[in-house]
Amino acid sequence: MRILHTADWHLGKMFYGEYLTEEQAHVLTQQLLPLIKEERIEALIIAGDIYDRSLPPVGAVALFDEILTKIAVEAHVPCFIISGNHDSATRLSFGNALMEKEGIFIGGELATLHSPIVLEDRYGAVSFYLLPFAEPAVVRQYYSEETVKDHETALRCLRSAQKIVQDTRSVCVAHAFVTGGVPCDSERPLAIGGSECVDVSCFDGFSYTALGHLHGPQKAGGRDNVRYAGSLLKYSFGEAKQKKGVSIVEIDAKGHVAWEQIPLVPQHDVRIIQGRFADIMTRPEANKEDFLLVRLEDEEPILDGLAKLRKKYPHVLALETPNRMIQGAPERKFDVRHTNERELFLNFTMAMRDGRTLSEHEKEWTETLWRRLWQEGGDGLL
């Protein structure tokens, strides 16, 4: 069976004040949907965080509606969806009993999870177990299970509450932080205090586990058959170097798994560019429309830097000036009473610039200033 595993779409995500809905629509309609046919996909999995927030903006709901309809009506591929920590399980589950008839299976509310959904391919049955994200307190109360105290015990409880079908081939869909995983800047922690981690042994016995939550594509707990597909797009500048995409998973007759990661390429990439202002403004740049973080290496302040940069790069979303930042609070060893004004200025400059002294050009320039101050009667000020 060939499965397309994707996760963490975060529809309705706002990135530095810009909605990414158009970008998301582009990769979903122009790249992900065509893959279903091209790769002869027999089942699609979306492993949580469909939306970026529990009450998503209307544009995000309209996009998800369009994509789901195309999956069911045009592609005719069964689709398994679970809610993640960003979704509202109840809202995501709207109409799920009706949609099951069209092959769309949504795991959100605990009340609807009783047994796996079984699909057939030419080798026989493959069972899909949906384990949506749920707060430990919710699981403990719903199942009256006092032993549920953290995310791991909650997940084990959800798993054991499902009727197990005797089969050789099975797929688990979950939204969790498996111990040892590498997080990035755009995931919201699952637990504040206490452990958000679950051990990979929670997924023992499944042929493949399709995970959501971590936004970088990776295997979990060192196992090739327990994987994060990663998010649809880059949702922070910390992810600038990551390659986003979907996993295509093939389960053979015996339940062995092979997988391949297929990249998704957005219209506007998320990138970091670095250099001196004058250089960045004059050098040739191919993708000026990308979403950019600009790291200016200049020591001197650039007046209206962001506005000037945006004339060339319309989507500069963030600006950093690392060489102008003060690292920690420097110790001030000078004695104001026994220091003349020039030494005082030099010491102040060094304190503000992490110990770097004046360049020759700056020395010349400040010397001119001192002279002007003296000549114009500035001695009264000093």
Binding site for Mn ion (CB under 5 A): 8, 49
Between 184 and 358, name the residue whose CB sits nearer to Mn ion.
184
Between 152 and 187, name the residue whose CB sits nearer to Mn ion.
187
Q: How far is the CB of 211 from Mn ion (least distance, A)?
A: 11
At 342, give phi and psi (nearest 5°). Answer: -70, -40
Q: Report the DSSP beta bridge partners of residue 291.
A: 270
Instruction: Give the helix/strand (H/E) hosting 312.
Output: helix 305-312
Residue-wise DSSP of 121-138 = ETTEEEEEEEE----HHH
Cβ atoms of 254 and 168 closer than 8 Å: yes
Give the C-alpha separation, 198 to 196, whole Å: 7
Number of H helices, E strands in the chain: 11, 19
The CB-side HSE value for 185 (13 A sphere, CA atoms) comes to 10
At 145, give phi and psi (nearest 5°). Answer: -115, 100
Q: How far is the CB of 260 from Mn ion (least distance, A)?
A: 22
Give the CB-nearest residue to Mn ion.
49
Q: How far is the CB of 181 from Mn ion (least distance, A)?
A: 12
Between 47 and 296, name the residue whose CB sits nearer to Mn ion.
47
Between 8 and 42, name the residue whose CB sits nearer to Mn ion.
8
Q: Biggest alpha carbon distance in the chain?
A: 95
Between 207 and 231, name the residue whose CB sits nearer to Mn ion.
231
Rounded to 5°, angle at Cα 81 from 139 and 103: 125
| Helix segments in 283-340, DSSP class H | 305-312
Cα 12 to the center of its chain, rounded Å? 13
Between 50 and 248, name the residue whose CB sits nearer to Mn ion.
50
Q: How far is the CB of 180 from Mn ion (least distance, A)?
A: 18
Between 179 and 349, name the residue whose CB sits nearer to Mn ion.
179
Q: How far is the CB of 112 from Mn ion (least distance, A)?
A: 22
Give the residue among 321, 318, 320 at the shortest CA–CA distance from 17: 318
Q: How far is the CB of 312 from Mn ion (least distance, A)?
A: 33
Q: How far is the CB of 7 from Mn ion (least distance, A)?
A: 7
Q: How far is the CB of 40 from Mn ion (least distance, A)?
A: 28
Give the residue among 99, 177, 178, 165 at the shortest CA–CA distance from 129: 165
Between 116 and 266, name the residue whose CB sits nearer to Mn ion.
266
Strands (E) in 148-301, as ranges, are 170-175, 177-178, 197-198, 208-212, 218-220, 223-228, 245-251, 257-263, 270-275, 291-296
The CB-side HSE value for 186 (13 A sphere, CA atoms) comes to 25
